Structure 1
Amino acid sequence: MRKPRDYDAELKALDDRAKELKAKKVQQLGELVIATGADALNADELAGALVAIAETQDAAKREVWARRGEGWFRSKSRRSARTDDGNSSSSPAYSGGAQSPSGGEGAA
C-alpha cells in the first residue's frame, strides 16, 4: 500500500521556497540599486524614475534602456574579472535582465 501524500507539508515547502525566492529578489534589487549608484537618489526620485520606466510603452526607449543596462552588466563583469586576478568563478551581484532607470532618453 502506498504512503499517503502530505499535502500540507508540500504546500508549506512550496510557500517557504516562494518566500526564499522573494527575499533573494529583493536583496538582488537592492544590490543593483547600490551598484548602479542609484542609492544616491532619495526614495521619491528613485520611485518616480522606476514608475516612469514601468509605465513607458515606447518600445524604442525601452530598447535603448535595455542595451544600456546590458552594456553596464558586461562592463561590470569585465571589471570584476580583472580585479579578481583571473578568477572566473565570480559573477555580478545581480545577473538579471533589469533595465537602467537612468536611461539616456529620459524616464518621463
Structure 2
Amino acid sequence: MAAAAATKRSGDDVFLLYTGGTTGLPKGVMWRQDDMFCNLNATALFRYPEDLAWGEFAKHLPEGPPVHLPAAPLMHGAGSITSMSAFSQGGTVVLPPESDVLGGGDARCHRD
C-alpha cells in the first residue's frame, strides 16, 4: 500500500473528526476553528452575534443553559458536535458510566 500524501495544514486546524466510513473508507476530517464556530453557532438554539467582541460571550449566554445527553458516542460527529454545542452555550453534557450505557447505573455529569 502506498503512503498517503502529506496534507498541507492551516494554523486554524483544531478538530480532527474520524468518520465511520459510511460513504467509503473511514478517514479523518480536519475542521478549522472558524468553521467549527460557524457550525456550532448556526445549529445552536442560542446564537451569538457574529460581530461580538472577544470576552463578551458570557454576557450573551441564555438563562438556564442546556443539558445534553448525547445519543451517539462522543467519537461520532453527532455526539461530539452536539456536545460541543451545549458546552459553547455554557451547558452541561451528561454521560452514562463507562460501559454501563443500558445497565441502569448512575450517570456522570461533565461541565465545561
What band does the TM-score fall into relative to the shorter chain?
Answer: 0.3 to 0.5
Structure 1 length normalisation: TM-score? Answer: 0.33
More relative contact order, 1 or 2 (CA 8 Å, 6+ apart):
1
The structure with the largest alpha-carbon Rg is 1
Structure 2 length normalisation: TM-score? Answer: 0.33
Of Structure 1 and Structure 2, which has the larger fraction of its residues in helix? 1
